[in-house]
Chains A and B, each alone.
Chain A
Amino acid sequence: MSKIKENNPEYFTDWKYAPSPESKDHIRLQNRYELFINGKFVKPNSKKYFDTINPATEEKIAEIAEANEKDVDLAVTAAKNAYDKVWKKMPGKERAKYIYRIARMIQEKARELAVIETMDGGKAIRESRDIDVPLAANHFFYYAGWADKLEYAFPNRKPQSLGVAGQIIPWNFPLLMAAWKIAPALATGNTVVLKPAETTSLTALKLAEIIQESGLPEGVVNIVTGFGNTGAAIVNHANVNKVAFTGSTDVGKIIQKAIAGTNKKLTLELGGKAANIVFEDAPLDQAVEGIINGIFFNQGHVCCAGSRLLVQEGVAEILIRKLKDRMETLIVGDPLDKNTDIGAINSKEQLSKINEYIKIGTNEGAEIFQPSCSLPKKGFFCKPTLFLNTSQSHRVVQEEIFGPVLAVQTFRTVEEAIEKANNIPFGLSAGIWTDKGSKIFNMTSKMRAGVVWANTYNKFDPTSPFGGYKESGFGREGGLHGLAAYLNF
């Protein structure tokens, strides 16, 4: 950067962005959160609470109830009763109106939810404000409309709801993942027991408050907080008819194995290691923006992150130079600041995992690049990182890091790009950058991945199905296809 600066002084100023923090004054948080079971907030049988902290400051925000097996049993029983006595019998038209209400109330409380999401999870406020919260509301709004139209979705079938859906969600998009899980489950006539991730329970609990306020019949949605044990209790409960899990491939495999031999229906949305493929004829500046958005969106805590860059040899040098320049301009720091591009890493554990991979990448012989930005002294932060000259067998190429780390490889031919892109156990997403339409369609059909972004990246919409091939899981969330996960037909 400094060289470019010296050679082109007219393009550069020393202007800095003034701090522009989002206000926290208007948010309402309690010191302690209980479990949301059968329409009420109740103390846990475990009598245990754990702290949730702000990963940007390491300060405690609140304490959260830990649900044990007994608590999960109460939640599942509440969900089953609500299913049998109320929800199953309610006409789709009426179910829809509750779901619409929830959508509207999320919109009303959007700013508060965005601030809490950022405080609890570390993501930049720009993202929680413009992406997570609006998409969550839209998801409820979209699926509400399906509730009375299910027979049109599956030709020649009369779809039936399943019963109690046990849903376990990750910490990277806490409110949005809750919406992805709850909205289609309710629209299809199922009731819910949902467990948020232990580092990011707050917006799910705020959603519980919204659900309570909406007048949704008691027990239709239950939210139990806790760790892996709580999740396992949900998965293994005999009265759970459907398990929906978003998280790591390792845990997904454990769940798939655990429910073997039962009649539980399963959908898994697991890890990824997507290739962002840039051809010589690509619009390079747009591609650079797409690569940045692909890997640094949400600190790289994204299962569909474009964590591998495959660049065609002829443009590799110029593209990598542009990429490095762009990385120099990224603002890493206070997630509540509206100018921040990259916020805090979600937890200390995740930061040490990412740092471990940065060590592994260096030891494997890849060349590392990090911009010259400084990191806040407190909190969990990680510089955006490139690994250049990586090869297909490197662990930083094969394994999901779930952080702001991009592994760069080059290729010569279309065949080589396809081979490298597909030669991993995952198959969640891929990115294609080229100005040639026929090449886009060739590439999209050859990618063994569930979502392909061509000349764009990391776009989401409630109407658009999302989900993986291979070890990235099965089933789809979003769109018409997302209904199938919650119905028998």
Chain B
Amino acid sequence: MERIEVLKTYKLYIGGTFPRTESGRYYQLMNSKKEIIANVSLGSRKDFRNAVVAARGAFGGWSARAAFNRGQILYRIAEMLEGRKEQFVNELVQQGIKKTAAEDEVKKSIDRLVYYSGWCDKFITLFGGVNPVASSHFNFSVPEAMGVVAIVAPENSGLLGIISVIAPCIAGGNTCIILASEKLPLCAVTFAEVLATSDVPGGVVNILTGTSKELHSHFSNHMDVNAVVFCRDDKAERKAVAENGALNVKRIYFWDKDWNKDESENPYLIMDLQEIKTTWHPIENIGVGGAKY
């Protein structure tokens, strides 16, 4: 007798756990032959709000991790992904991507994580520094994580897209809530399983599935979100996101990139989600010639 396959339930990823959407709603994902390949959760405003609570809770710990430690954890994500390459290739193929393109996308995704892993303990040196003020003070500026970032992931890149936006965000010490691609959501949910086994603390990355149409306004008007990264091209949604951002002076970014290209990975994406903090302290000025930095 032929073995019956165990089908996967695609759930959300919030606070390190895999809940179903509280709304109980779903949408059906079809392949090119119009066969149903999954019932995908239609994440709701309440799911998003729960995810913000999880992300805010995780922020203090994650941003205070040693940069070196964050680098190791990002590298660990790459390791876990490498071990599950086939699964991601199959999922991409299931969603209509050609096999060679799918293989290429998975490889690039792994390499991108390694790339940002390396940045974790380097961008601060590159973009921070000591400022030679004229008065007798030691003065230095360093990039510091912005806080909780709400991300609407690229629509046309199911795995590479989501990794390309999550990686610079968490490499810099932020936590995030990310809405997966609506038509290519499967890899996002499976990627959550990778995160859950990669020493990434629960709540650092929270993944929702659903529609930007329903969720973009909630992503942008939540008062405990510090920044929004919006990677879709719907003009009306973009304008609404930018307008809502003004409610609590959110930092709003529209990242339109071809995520396949090498130049779409760079430390300026990390820096978009950093604040610059400047600290002053007096220098004692006793002795011949005083002292200066």
Taking beta carbons and an 8 Å cutoff, which residues of A are in contact with B?
Answer: 138, 154-157, 249, 252-254, 256-257, 259-261, 268, 270, 425, 440, 444-445, 447-456, 459, 461, 463-467, 469-474, 476, 479-481, 489
Given contacts A450-B275, A463-B131, contact A252 B249 (CB under 8 A): yes
Which residues of B from 5 to 48 have beta carbons under 8 Å from A? Answer: none
Distance from A463 Cβ to chain B, minimum over Cβ atoms (Å): 4
- Interchain CB contact under 8 A, A444 and B279: yes
**Does B137 lie at the interface of the complex (its beta carbon under 8 Å from any beta carbon of A)?**
yes
Interface residues of B, count at CB 8 A: 37
- Interchain CB contact under 8 A, A450 and B276: yes
**Does B66 lie at the interface of the complex (its beta carbon under 8 Å from any beta carbon of A)?**
no
**Does B268 lie at the interface of the complex (its beta carbon under 8 Å from any beta carbon of A)?**
yes
- Interchain CB contact under 8 A, A261 and B281: no
Distance from A321 Cβ to chain B, minimum over Cβ atoms (Å): 25
- Interchain CB contact under 8 A, A440 and B277: no
Interface string of B112-145 (1 = CB under 8 A from A): 0000000000000010010111110101010010
Q: Which of A260, A455, A463 contacts B133 (CB 8 A)?
A: A463
Distance from A273 Cβ to chain B, minimum over Cβ atoms (Å): 14
Which residues of B from 212 to 267 have beta carbons under 8 Å from A? Answer: 226, 235, 238-240, 242-243, 245-249, 251, 266
**Does B280 lie at the interface of the complex (its beta carbon under 8 Å from any beta carbon of A)?**
yes
- Interchain CB contact under 8 A, B139 and A469: no
Closest residue of A by beta carbon distance from B239: A261
Q: Which residues of A contact B249 (CB under 8 A)?
A: 249, 252-253, 256, 268, 270, 470-474
- Interchain CB contact under 8 A, B280 and A471: no
What's the Cα separation between A345 and B104 when bound, in Å? 65
- Interchain CB contact under 8 A, A256 and B277: no
- Interchain CB contact under 8 A, A481 and B279: no
Taking beta carbons and an 8 Å cutoff, which residues of B are in contact with A?
Answer: 64, 126, 129, 131-135, 137, 139, 141, 144, 146-147, 226, 235, 238-240, 242-243, 245-249, 251, 266, 268, 275-282
Q: Which residues of A contact B146 (CB under 8 A)?
A: 469
Q: Which residues of A contact B251 (CB under 8 A)?
A: 474
Distance from A141 Cβ to chain B, minimum over Cβ atoms (Å): 11
Given contacts A138-B134, A465-B276, A467-B276, contact A155 B126 (CB under 8 A): yes
Q: Which residues of A contact B248 (CB under 8 A)?
A: 425, 470-471
- Interchain CB contact under 8 A, B131 and A451: no
- Interchain CB contact under 8 A, A464 and B277: no
Closest residue of B by beta carbon distance from A453: B280
What's the Cα separation between A257 and B239 when bound, in Å? 9
Q: Which residues of B contact A448 (CB under 8 A)?
A: 147
- Interchain CB contact under 8 A, B275 and A452: no
Distance from B227 Cβ to chain A, minimum over Cβ atoms (Å): 9
- Interchain CB contact under 8 A, A451 and B278: yes
Q: Which residues of B contact A456 (CB under 8 A)?
A: 137, 280-282
Q: Which residues of B contact A472 (CB under 8 A)?
A: 249
What's the Cα separation between A156 and B129 when bound, in Å? 18
Given contacts A260-B245, A451-B280, A470-B226, contact A464 B139 (CB under 8 A): yes
Q: Which residues of B contact A471 (CB under 8 A)?
A: 248-249
Distance from B197 Cβ to chain A, minimum over Cβ atoms (Å): 30
Sort A-B residue pairs by CB-CB distance and give the 10 closest, nearest first.
A260-B242, A261-B239, A256-B246, A461-B133, A257-B246, A260-B243, A463-B131, A253-B246, A454-B281, A464-B131
Which of B141, B226, B278 has the most chain A CB atoms inside 10 A of its CB? B278
Q: Which residues of A contact B275 (CB under 8 A)?
A: 450, 469
Distance from A135 Cβ to chain B, minimum over Cβ atoms (Å): 9
Beyond the given A256-B249, A445-B144, A466-B278, could you list 18 further A-B residue pairs with CB under 8 A, ordered by the A residue number?
A154-B268, A155-B126, A253-B249, A254-B246, A257-B243, A260-B240, A260-B245, A268-B249, A444-B277, A449-B277, A451-B277, A454-B279, A456-B137, A461-B135, A463-B131, A465-B131, A479-B131, A481-B141
Q: Which residues of A contact B141 (CB under 8 A)?
A: 464-465, 479, 481
Distance from B216 Cβ to chain A, minimum over Cβ atoms (Å): 13
Q: Which residues of A contact B126 (CB under 8 A)?
A: 155
Q: Which of B129, B239, B278 contacts A260 (CB 8 A)?
A: B239
- Interchain CB contact under 8 A, A452 and B246: no
What's the Cα separation between A461 and B137 when bound, in Å? 10
Q: Which residues of A contact B132 (CB under 8 A)?
A: 463
Q: Which residues of B contact A261 (CB under 8 A)?
A: 235, 238-239, 242-243
What's the Cα separation between A480 and B239 when bound, in Å? 31
What are 9 A-B pairs with beta-carbon distances under 8 A?
Answer: A156-B266, A257-B243, A261-B235, A445-B64, A451-B277, A452-B277, A461-B131, A465-B278, A472-B249
What's the Cα separation between A329 and B134 when bound, in Å? 29
Q: Which residues of B contact A157 (CB under 8 A)?
A: 268
What's the Cα separation between A256 and B250 when bound, in Å? 9
What's the Cα separation between A449 and B245 when bound, in Å? 19
Q: Which residues of A contact B277 (CB under 8 A)?
A: 444, 447, 449-452
What's the Cα separation between A461 and B139 when bound, in Å? 10
Distance from B83 Cβ to chain A, minimum over Cβ atoms (Å): 33
Q: Which residues of A contact B279 (CB under 8 A)?
A: 444, 451-454
Which of B64, B135, B240, B249 has the most chain A CB atoms inside 10 A of its CB? B249
- Interchain CB contact under 8 A, B276 and A459: no
Closest residue of A by beta carbon distance from B263: A156
Q: Which residues of A contact B240 (CB under 8 A)?
A: 260
Distance from A260 Cβ to chain B, minimum over Cβ atoms (Å): 3
What's the Cα separation between A489 and B131 when bound, in Å? 23
What's the Cα separation between A155 and B146 when bound, in Å? 22
What's the Cα separation between A256 and B251 when bound, in Å? 10
Q: Which residues of A contact B268 (CB under 8 A)?
A: 154, 157, 489
Q: Which of B64, B226, B245, B280 contacts A454 (CB 8 A)?
A: B280
